[in-house]
Structure 1
């Protein structure tokens, strides 16, 4: 990697301070005429409060990007989620809210008793005719799907509990349309709360699992029978958190001797099942399914030590000579047998993250996984990787000096076969310092883009997103009659 390339990689986290609304003028290739709907993406758009810079990827204000596709054009719009953290940063240069990785200046006395500020930056999902911007340590924020205006925080009529934790990775049962999720509580006692939201939008509390040695956990998966958790030995030091001597992320310790626990929580109620395994380190699961009496889980396993992963989360707005260097990882499958044996299988040795699949296959065996990946010598994800679980084949589409985001699969028609559709993702061309909406034919990713819609600016590195076949309504300019 040359010094010039290292400097370009520093653009990955560069902020986008302005909010835009325009029709995309430059489109290379041809937009698929049948690909109509709206893509939403979310991530930290800026890591600063006023002119005070933040350094953790977890603490930036959430920014929603909307791509409206009508078959012939692309329209772009972005808005920041109007959280209390964001609104404070518009008025003040002084940090008021503690972050996940950022402490308020002033030592423990300034931080003790303060929870991290909700920045609504991790995931955006379709819900009840609108959108929810998610952040796992607090309430979701409802967002208007057309204007992207922030409607307000959602607590499901007060049923989320004391801390209001609602994971950024809810899952849907395709058979019932019900949404499942969880929340981690450290206080008053450590536990995992599980929830079901029915199609009327009512939240029902399911099983609460007390965990005297609760592990930090980001994601879970759903089968026809279970909510599936993979609890790595990332253990919060409660004393350090309570005394506020360290940030929340710096209070986590990887205790390898504890191992990883597969926690299977029955959807229908009943006693959870725990299966012990050697220590793993991961953030994201893909899918899970029941195979007779076995449970099969797919996830991205890091091959990098926790201290290194933690350090990488705190490299925003730094003068580091290296710039970001995303961790090495692999896509893995774990089969839990009825007798409690765990069978591990590597699905690809490519360094990958942000795994996706055809959501219609949720809770069932899926054949294809789509991921962001790193090509040889790259520092960040610069590729889209496709894994065929039936043949073992791995194909990819690589981009030069780029930052590639999570690929979302959109089926060609509601009843199209698995893999018969498109992959939509963002690519930040670091040389041009502009971002693109890229569309691939999922059946042939090596062919390259069918269409590339060039924005007039870049979008900072972000996390997750969703797609709906509903085309967002245009927003009239200020002063126009509606």
Structure 2
């Protein structure tokens, strides 16, 4: 292993028994650039591009109760070409990160605390927390865009070097939510945001040159907490979910979410460049959905896949203090019981139909982004470690035949979201690799694995050992090398 760069960021964090500050979630403070990494197996020569994962990585002692979604953003990247690989990790140097580095302490309380505990005004939909830019990551217009789940600035970085290139200058006053969507066919990026003031939600389009070209309200009856959106070739899909902040408590600046099972889930479907008056609303069974998968048009219908939660506000995990048990259950997919689900919206009749596609508890799916907005056949979900926000294995779904195949990551081995990386000169939809970071607690190390998407049960094609054991994390993306370099 050849370490080209090493830098340790000052931290005041002390050893902790907090479940999301130790074990697989132990934060990292050192940034690396490393080449000539140890490889178990052989790196294929037909993978070309960059795998990038975002991470909630706390730097300073928290103000009050720490929630893992509060942690500072850190990007981990693997760049592949010609059978070689390079690893980098860098903090996202947000305005909040820089302010806390200067102060030498946390300045903002997290989401599990009263907003009054923050020492300075904050950002986003809640208005008093730090925009940590630690949730999602996509690549658009040749640059990484890192985003925060409660709506923040959106930070741009170079996909190969992870050098920071400022904030997205087009971002509206209400910010950018996590999970903007990139349409590889057009180069456009679709995004949304939400707030506590009317009309409460907006939707926009950024063109392939990183210019905001469309922005419109998607009005809801009050403040809402959407987390994701979807799109087809011609339409965008946003939601009004029956889990949101209690409006009476909001008057006292208390942010407590409640679930309303007597209210439907509502879907706003509008043309990509449509306005509020063009929205068609569809109703479905009440639930909460963290993540939508692909959507496409078929005849008069729009078909959308995602993960339906049977228990959006789960009971606290037993055997723990009530507040800790509630925090743990709220990020455990076995507690909120998420299942792969399909919705069908008939644009002619206004009817909604829905069906469950898998009875297993699954979430955090990925698919070949070259098929985004068009009918796709394959989907790759993960299952979680019961009681934890950790991924223990993956499932490949054939949505055409109903077949599926599974790959456990192994005992005390926890993975990351695993995007699909098309093979160079790919011939069909699943001709490529699934890429993931694995934290191996038995070996006390982390590795990047490549899995042949056509045969996931065969296990990793290769395992690339990283220079340190990295903190567990979730959302990730793949960016195609020839596209980034302008080779095609």
- TM-score tier after normalising by the smaller chain length: 0.7 to 0.9
Residue equivalent to 2:298: 291
1:341-360 equivalences in 2 (<5 Å): 341-360=351-370
Which residue is 1:476 aligned to?
none
Q: Quote the Cα distance in structure 2 between the aligned partners of 1:56 and 1:290.
A: 39
The aligned residue for residue 362 of structure 1 is 372
5 Å-filtered alignment, 1:253-292, equals 253-269=258-274, 270-292=277-299
Match of 2:8 in 1: none
- Once the two structures are TM-superposed, the CA of residue 461 in structure 1 deviates from its matched residue by 2.0
Question: In 1, Cα distance between the equivalents of 2:142 and 2:32?
Answer: 24
From 393, 414, 417, the equivalent of 1:403 is 414
Contact 2:316 2:328 in 1 (8 A): no
Deviation at 1:105, TM superposition (A): 6.6
- Whole-angstrom distance in 2 between the partners of 1:388 and 1:208: 36
Distance (whole Å) between structure 2 residues aligned to residue 361 and residue 24 of structure 1: 34
CA distance in 1, matches of 2:273, 2:63: 48
CA contact (8 A) 1:300 1:352 kept: yes
| TM-score normalised by the chain length of structure 2 | 0.84
- Indicate how the Cα distance of structure 1 residues 460 and 347 shifts in structure 2: closer, same or farther if over 3 A, else same: same
Change (3 A) 1:272 1:310: farther
Partner Cα separation in structure 2 for residue 315 and residue 401 of structure 1: 27
After alignment, is 128-137 or 294-303 more displaced?
128-137
Work out whether residues 66 and 110 of structure 2, in 8 Å CA contact, stay in contact via their aligned partners in 1.
no
Q: Higher mean Cα deviation, 6-15 or 165-174?
A: 6-15
1:192 is aligned to 2:201: yes
Contact map agreement 2:108 2:118 (CA 8 A) in 1:
no
For structure 2, the residue ranges without an aligned partner over 5 or more in a row are 1-17
Q: TM-score, normalised by structure 1?
A: 0.85
Distance 1:108 1:423, change over 3 A: closer
Distance 2:132 2:323 in 1: 16
Aligned to 2:33: 21
Q: Is residue 2:96 matched to residue 1:89?
A: no
TM-superposed deviation, 1:77:
1.2
Q: Partners of 1:390 and 1:415 in 2: how far apart?
A: 20
1:33 aligns with 2:45: yes
Partner of 2:309 in structure 1?
Answer: 302
Structure 1 residues 326 and 173, CA gap change in structure 2 (3 angstroms):
closer
Structure 2: distance between partners of 1:96 and 1:114: 14
Per the alignment, residue 155 of structure 1 pairs with 169
Asked whether 1:448 is paired with 2:477, we answer no
Structure 1 gaps, min length 5: 1-5, 474-482
The Cα of 1:361 is off from its aligned counterpart by 0.8
CA contact (8 A) 2:304 2:342 kept: yes
Pairing 1:420–2:425 present: no
Structure-1 residue corresponding to 2:158: 144
CA spacing shift, 1:325–1:240, aligned 2, 3 Å: same
**Which 10-residue stretch deviates more, 165-174 or 234-243?**
234-243
| Contact residue 262 and residue 274 of structure 1 kept, 8 A | yes
Deviation at 1:340, TM superposition (A): 2.8
Structure with more contact order per residue of length (Cα contacts < 8 Å, sep ≥ 6): 1
Confirm whether residue 125 of structure 1 aligns to residue 122 of structure 2: no
Q: CA deviation at 1:290?
A: 1.0
Alpha-carbon distance between aligned partners in 1 of 2:130 and 2:330, rounded to the nearest angstrom = 26
Note the C-alpha offset of 1:324: 7.6
* 1:334 maps to 2:343: yes
User: Aligned equivalents of 1:14 and 1:315: distance in 2?
Assistant: 23
Q: Is 2:122–2:131's contact at 8 Å kept on the other side of the alignment?
A: no
Q: In structure 1, how many angstroms separate the alpha carbons of the residues matched to 2:324 and 2:48? A: 37
Mapped to 2, the partners of 1:176 and 1:288 lie a distance apart of 16
Label 1:321 to 1:274 Cα distance change in 2 as closer, same or farther (>3 A): closer
Distance across 1 between alignment mates of 2:248 and 2:329: 33
* Distance in 1, Cα, partners of 2:258 & 2:417: 28
* C-alpha distance 471-18 of structure 1, shift in aligned 2 (>3 A): farther
